[in-house]
Amino acid sequence: MAKPDVPTREDILRFVADSQGKVGKREIAKAFNVRGGDRIELKALLADMAAEGLLSRSGKRLSQPGSLPRVTVLAVTGKTADGDLLATPTHWEGEGEPPRVHISTKGRAPGMGDRVLTRITPTKDGHVGSVIKVLERRAAESIGVLESIGGRLQLSPITKKDRDTVFVDKATAGDTPIGSLVRYTAERGRNVKITEVVGPAGSEQAISLIAIMAHGIPDRFPEPVLKAAEAAKRTTVRGREDWRAIPFVTIDPSDAKDHDDAVFAEPDPDNDGGHIVSVAIADVAHYVRPDAPMDREARLRGNSTYFPDRVVPMLPERLSNDLCSLREGEARPAIAMRMVFGKDGRKTRHSVHRVMIRSARSLAYEEAQRIADGAPSDMAGQVGALFDAYATLKRARDNRAPLDLDLPERKIKLTPEGTVARVIVPERLEAHKLIEEFMIQANVAAAETCEAAKVPILYRVHDAPSDDKLDALREFLATLDIKLAKGTRLRPEHFNAILARVSGTAHQHIVNEVVLRSQRQAEYAPDNLGHFGLNLRRYAHFTSPIRRYADLIVHRALIRAEGLGKDGLTDEEIEELGSIGEAISATERRSMVTERETVDRLIAGWLSDKVGTVMEGRIAGVTRAGLFVKLDDSGGDGFVPISTLSAEYLVHDDTTHALIGQVTGVTYRLGDAVSVRLAEAAPLSGALRFEVVEHEATAPRRRPPHRSGRPSRRAPPRRKGRR
């Protein structure tokens, strides 16, 4: 029980709910005059409240679980009976339906379908939003399938936010084929206008569009933005350093169309064994000026979103694929980071330059690797210099010991017709690691430059794991006889030692998954919390301004810090950095969810004709309701209901991430290898349902302890003929 000098749980919850600004341990301690040793007890109390789900923690900020950020992006979706506007968050991670916010329209008048940056005020009746800025004005649009039911034509929405079936007449439908996926707007009640026929509802194009619409990702540029992009003129070398003679190369995926970064390396003539590495990044800030139409649209989108069959870009193609793309043989403006490294791989100094470059060659990762491995090429000298520099930088990286999780990513390969051909795990090449390390060093240098000039920026922050997550990880590792140090400040190398210990063992998959789940999610913020995963004290995204708005902000900050032009970060942007960081962190999470859902739908469609087939996989999630299984070959995720697992009571053990038979001790544990039969595939929802055929347990089977296990519902007896 809390001491009298420490606020009660009720006091803390009330304070967090009523606060309009940043709330953390420091603010709570100041508000309740908590001093000395009582601060330790306050810290423990806050950790307990977070573990119990009473508070959510993001970095050092505390909030109510499922609550809205104090500044967020909303979409205007409806009206009350009194005519007041209602809006919902464009991204929602809480449980259940997203909250509906009453919009205060004093001085501003957003319309239906508009997206607005809003300051949220909690009230006893819900939430009230004050509009800071109208980010996008557009008609409210839905997506649905044209169907004929009982002779009547109807549009059946397929996104969760649209629940009502809309009936249409033949004139409205025109010659749209039955079963087509269409965009439509409902005007003045039920008057419907079909604005676009996408194609058959089961096509790959339709599947990615479903995800885009479901999450409200803007995929069409407003006319003023397109006009501004087309009116943009090619820049000249005037006012820039001329670096066109330097043989930069770009190294990207083979299908890349936008080239953000080019690299060049050479031995340091003043330091034997050292290297000079230059990283040139597309000068997007030259074309996209603060608060101009292209800038407002880029901030709204936050980032580009990538699908197997398409890209929803942050910038119009006139910029992303042309004026700003560092194409081979074409002069392009760039902001370059010139970095000098000693023979130990540590950076000794760096400088920022606004330049004009001409990429000597555009290479795919595989091509660069072949050249480095000895394949004949006129670029052998330059590519060799890059790999020599990387070998030196790798020494410092290895000493820094960033978090090294083994989580291979799968990539969907499509046929020319847009259907799934196969799912592959691309090989992780040294060429990938080279570009990754060069970009990391350039990002660090960008953050250091702005800090030295005292120019605020958006950091890419990744806070250390929370105490409650670490406690849960320790309990889990203890079941494998692995100790995680307690009472000391954990660093990535502590996790790496554990990962190395289980590498190649039966526990490798489960330990990598559980360590990943113990980590916080990275985000953008003006407050520097460091980057735990990379083991860096300061870090900012600078290297991809074509596809990330955060990088454009950092470019403007560098221009201001180094006096490189009049298009640097403005005072108004500095004032808004907090809200910009929150908004683009939300759009990044939105894109991740959208991309994942699209892959799920594509794989479900690919497997839909394989119902009844037995496949190999691993348990990727354990809940009281059943198991989530990830297939080995395709990476498809599906669910195994607990009712199909066993006829005995199964207990959900949080500590071991397992379902355990209360009588026999049969154990289904995270990471276990399983053979499953595909029972159902639903392409439009992306859902797969499995039944376990064979189970190879990687964990010792034991009876669940009553103190730590919670009984799941009892699986009913299997019906006759049920597989």
**489 secondary structure, DSSP code:** -
**Side-chain-side CA neighbours of residue 241 (13 Å):** 14
Which structure tokens are listed for 43? Answer: 């810290």
CA distances 635 to 445, 654, 688, 711, Å, are 37, 25, 12, 30
Q: Quick: pLDDT tens for 339-366.
A: 999 999 999 999 999 999 999 999 999 9
Cα–Cα distance measured from residue 16 to residue 38, given in angstroms and rounded to the nearest whole number: 19
Residue 693 has pLDDT above 50, yes or no: yes
Q: For position 53, what pLDDT does the model report?
A: 60
Residue 93 has pLDDT above 60, yes or no: no
Among residues 64, 103, 198, the alpha carbon closest in space to that of 142 is found at 198
Say which residue the tokens 């040793």 belong to: 37
Residue 4 has pLDDT above 60, yes or no: no
Handedness of CA 429, 435, 438, 443 (dihedral sign): negative
Mean pLDDT of 321-336: 97
Q: Which residues pair with 355 in a beta bridge?
A: 241, 334
Contact 480, 386 (CB under 8 A): no
pLDDT tier for residue 713 given thresholds of 50, 70 and 90 = very low
Residues in the chain, how many?
A: 723
Mean pLDDT of 711-716: 43
Residue 419 has pLDDT above 50, yes or no: yes
Cα–Cα distance measured from residue 567 to residue 546, given in angstroms and rounded to the nearest whole number: 17
Q: For position 187, what pLDDT does the model report?
A: 58
Q: Quick: pLDDT tens for 616-666.
A: 999 988 888 899 999 988 888 899 999 899 888 899 988 888 899 988 888
CA distances 499 to 493, 504, 515, 532, Å, are 10, 10, 9, 16
How many angstroms separate the first and last alpha carbons of the chain?
52
Chain-centre distance of CA 447, in angstroms? 21
Q: For position 163, what pLDDT does the model report?
A: 54
Contact 496, 401 (CB under 8 A): yes
Residue 166 has pLDDT above 60, yes or no: yes
Residue 706 has pLDDT above 50, yes or no: no
Residue 562 has pLDDT above 50, yes or no: yes
Least confident of 162-171, 275-284, 473-482, 607-616: 162-171
Residue 670 has pLDDT above 80, yes or no: yes
Better pLDDT: 223 or 605: 223
* Residues contacting residue 141 through CB under 8 Å, at least 6 positions apart: 113, 183, 184, 185, 195, 213
pLDDT tier for residue 697 given thresholds of 50, 70 and 90 = low
Better pLDDT: 109 or 490: 490
pLDDT tier for residue 698 given thresholds of 50, 70 and 90 = low
Put simply, whether the predicted model's pTM sits higher than 0.85 gets the answer no
Least confident of 49-53, 312-316, 405-409, 421-425: 49-53
Chain-centre distance of CA 264, in angstroms? 29
Cα–Cα distance measured from residue 479 to residue 682, given in angstroms and rounded to the nearest whole number: 37
* Residues contacting residue 435 through CB under 8 Å, at least 6 positions apart: 251, 261, 263, 365
Task: Count the neighbouring beta carbons within 10 Å of the beta carbon of residue 106.
Answer: 7
Cα–Cα distance measured from residue 169 to residue 155, given in angstroms and rounded to the nearest whole number: 10
Alpha-carbon torsion, ordered 632, 638, 642, 646, to 10 deg? -40
Contact 143, 181 (CB under 8 A): yes
Q: For position 527, what pLDDT does the model report?
A: 93
Better pLDDT: 682 or 319: 319
Q: Quick: pLDDT tens for 427-485.
A: 899 999 999 999 999 999 999 999 999 999 999 999 999 888 888 888 888 888 888 87
Mean pLDDT over each residue of the chain, to the nearest integer: 85
Q: Quick: pLDDT tens for 172-221.
A: 777 788 888 888 876 544 567 788 887 777 666 778 888 887 787 888 99
Q: Quick: pLDDT tens for 488-543.
A: 788 999 999 999 999 988 788 888 888 988 899 899 999 999 999 999 999 999 99
Which structure tokens are listed for 625? Answer: 């309701």
pLDDT tier for residue 723 given thresholds of 50, 70 and 90 = very low
Q: Quick: pLDDT tens for 585-600.
A: 989 998 998 898 888 8
Mean pLDDT of 288-314: 93
401: left (phi over 0), alpha (psi -120 to 50) or beta: left
Alpha-carbon torsion, ordered 169, 171, 173, 175, to 10 deg? 140
* Residue 302 φ/ψ, nearest 5 degrees: 80, -35
Q: For position 334, what pLDDT does the model report?
A: 98
pLDDT tier for residue 584 given thresholds of 50, 70 and 90 = very high
Cα–Cα distance measured from residue 97 to residue 125, given in angstroms and rounded to the nearest whole number: 16
By CB atoms closer than 10 A (0-12, 13-18, 19+), residue 319 is buried
Q: Quick: pLDDT tens for 376-412.
A: 999 999 999 999 999 999 999 999 999 998 777 788 8
Q: Quick: pLDDT tens for 42-74.
A: 888 887 777 666 676 665 667 666 567 777 888
Share of the chain above pLDDT 70, in %: 86
721: left (phi over 0), alpha (psi -120 to 50) or beta: left
Which structure tokens are listed for 514? Answer: 């559980």
Mean pLDDT of 309-323: 94
pLDDT tier for residue 701 given thresholds of 50, 70 and 90 = very low
Residue 426 has pLDDT above 80, yes or no: yes
Cα–Cα distance measured from residue 630 to residue 177, given in angstroms and rounded to the nearest whole number: 36
Cα–Cα distance measured from residue 629 to residue 604, given in angstroms and rounded to the nearest whole number: 14
Contact 560, 271 (CB under 8 A): no
Least confident of 89-93, 167-171, 331-335, 535-539: 89-93
Residue 3 has pLDDT above 70, yes or no: no
